[in-house]
Amino acid sequence: FTAPGTGWLAKLGPPGALAVGLLKVAGVGAARRGPELPQVAGSLAAGDAIFLPLYDHFLKHGGVFRLNLGPKSFVIVSDPDIAKHILRDNSKAYSKGILAEILEFVMGTGLIPADGEVWRVRRRAIVPSLHQKFVTEMIGLFGKASDRLCQKLDKAALDGADVEMESLFSRLTLDVIGKAVFNYDFDSLSYDNGMVEAVYITLREAEMRSTAPIPTWKIPIWKDISPRQRKVNEALVLINNVLDELISTCKRMVDEEDLQFHEEYMNEQDPSILRFLLASGEDVSSKQLRDDLMTMLIAGHETSAAVLTWTFYLLSKCPKVMSKLQAEVDDVLGDGLPTIEDVKKLKYTTRVINESLRLYPQPPVLIRRSLEDDMLGEYPIGRGEDIFISIWNLHRCPKHWDDADVFSPERWPLDGPNPNETNQKFSYLPFGGGPRKCVGDMFATFENVVATAMLVKRFDFQMAPGAPPVEMTTGATIHTTKGLNMTVSRRTKPPVIPI
């Protein structure tokens, strides 16, 4: 899931320009069936948000080119038809490549890194668990968690203190996903406990591994003596123990339940995905279940937190959009928590999220490795090529989008279809596309709509005076470099004027 920085260079497969030339002389490789990919020599500094230089290369060299970085090379795709070919039409010819290697320590063979038969079996088991009834039930959970955040912000509004919203969004979405996936209350908005810390240690490690120049964690002795690695191992042991405990408790509950499993099975006391998976009676090892739960925890946590962070950043820059959004929310939401009927009426709020995902896709780059020779448009590629599909480039292509860099929720008609990769012909794919498309797209959209609506109903948000400029850096998703520091103030409702 990670959009890598520089460390992955060490893990990349095929050789750069020089070696490609040598192979060509020897009559081997991809030079056989068509023109050679345009070649670009690049360099990256550690800590670079990789998708930014890739955008400049895309404008100069087009929708598909080979980027040579020292002795390594990889193929950058920013063309919708080629993205469709890789992700959907010929998806069997591609694996997750380096992504699986980087994430193995935390996700094992969970759904995101898994390939082949393991992926097929787990996907078939997991997709049904996110059925309509479950997602509708989750709206209550989104509302309760967002309300807890509102209460926290009430205090800041009263004190006049600045708030760092990025970390609060991260806690909000951690609380939501823990409860939704395995019925665990992190309660990270209230306080830090060992589990919350363990999750953050693990996440930061995954990001570090994707950007580190040398994979020190693979060195046998270092692994045992490095304080950092010891901390990571301890965090993983804690998380695994808690997950094992949750799995066995849930198994007991399922055994005791007078179970009638059906397509939309949901236990009212515990509507979690874990409960569904166990109740479905599928024969799955505890280790595989743990990998799946951990995968969903990470997939559903950082992504939604990043969407909220960049949505509020964009809103703070566009008061007109904010006013229109608040007008809709005031109109639709009552005093209680939002219901599914409310969410369906929050059409402009949904467009705000759609548009935020266009400008700040999470993750900004998808990763694949070719398993066989293939054609990308007119260009042949060989087996073992590492490929980055730049969603950032697709979503900001000036040929495809009017005012590509402008935040304009109005570009999506309110009564039009919900924009997705199919109706936008792979020029817009915030949740990916093809067989590996996100399983949590509906869940995440509702979560972001509910949180945004509840927050802007209660508060006005402004960038804090003197806050550092908001810049981007790449982790698993797009982070800010120094946080999103804002001031919040309670909104006073406009007076009701009697007619």
The binding site for ligand HEM (CB under 6 A) comprises 111-112, 123, 295-296, 299-300, 303-304, 307, 362, 366, 430-432, 436, 438-440, 443-444
Per-residue DSSP letters for 117-182? HHHHHHHHHHGGGG-HHHHHHHHHHHHHHHHHHHHHHHHHHHHT--EEHHHHHHHHHHHHHHHHHH
Nearer to ligand HEM, 16 or 300 (CB): 300
The nearer residue to ligand HEM, 362 or 427, going by C-beta atoms, is 362
Strands (DSSP E) along 401-456, which ranges? none
284, 301 Cβ separation under 8 angstroms: no
CB of 299 to ligand HEM, least distance (A): 4
Contact 381, 13 (CB under 8 A): no
Both structure tokens of 411:
């570009």
> How many C-beta atoms surround the C-beta of residue 97 within 10 A?
24
Of 61 and 123, the one with the shorter C-beta distance to ligand HEM is 123
Least distance between ligand HEM and beta carbon 323 (Å) = 25
How far, in Å, CA of 353 to CA of 189, rounded? Answer: 23
Would you say 114 or 232 has its CB closer to ligand HEM?
114
| Contacting residues for 123 by C-beta, under 8 A, at least 6 apart | 111, 435, 439
| Cβ at position 107, least distance to ligand HEM in Å | 10
64 vs 99 by CB, closer to ligand HEM: 99
7 CA to centre of own chain: 20
Residue 317 CB, shortest distance to ligand HEM, in Å, is 20
Least Å distance, CB 23 to ligand HEM, is 29
Q: Nearest to ligand HEM by Cβ — which residue?
A: 440
Would you state the torsion angle of the CA atoms of residues 209, 210, 216, 217, taken in this order, to the nearest 10 degrees?
40
The DSSP bridge partners found for residue 474 are 478
Instruction: Give the max Cα distance, the chain.
Output: 87
Strand 459-463 vs strand 485-490: parallel, antiparallel, or unpaired?
antiparallel
- To ligand HEM, the closest distance from the beta carbon of 257 in angstroms equals 23
User: How far is the C-alpha of 392 from the C-alpha of 364, rounded, in Å?
Assistant: 5
For the bound state, the minimum distance from the C-beta of residue 364 to ligand HEM, rounded and expressed in Å, comes to 10
Q: Which of 391, 398, 447, 350 is nearest to 139 (CA)?
A: 447
**Reading across the β-sheet that carries 64-69, which strands appear in turn?**
39-41, 64-69, 72-77, 386-390, 365-370, 94-95
Do the Cβ atoms of 38 and 65 come closer than 8 Å?
A: yes
Task: Between 30 and 107, name the residue whose CB sits nearer to ligand HEM.
Answer: 107
Least CB distance from residue 16 to ligand HEM, whole Å?
A: 24
Nearer to ligand HEM by Cβ, of 430 and 475: the residue is 430
Minimum Å gap between C-beta 142 and ligand HEM is 11
Cα–Cα distance for residue pair 137/264, rounded to 1 Å: 12
The minimum distance between CB 451 and ligand HEM, in angstroms, equals 11
> Which are the contacts of 453, defined by CB distance < 8 A and separation ≥ 6?
329, 332, 333, 338, 342, 346, 349
Q: Which is nearer to ligand HEM, 106 or 464 (CB)?
A: 106
For strands 374-376 and 94-95, give the pairing. unpaired
Radius of gyration of the chain (CA): 23
Identity of the residue, 98 or 464, whose beta carbon is nearer to ligand HEM in the bound complex: 98
**Shortest reach from residue 359's CB to ligand HEM, in Å:** 13
Between 16 and 271, CB nearer to ligand HEM: 271
Nearer of residues 311 and 326 to ligand HEM, judged by Cβ: 311
Instruction: CB nearer to ligand HEM: give 354 or 485.
Output: 354
Please, what is the minimum distance in Å from the beta carbon of residue 77 to ligand HEM? Answer: 13
Q: 467 — alpha (psi -120 to 50), left (phi > 0) or beta?
A: beta
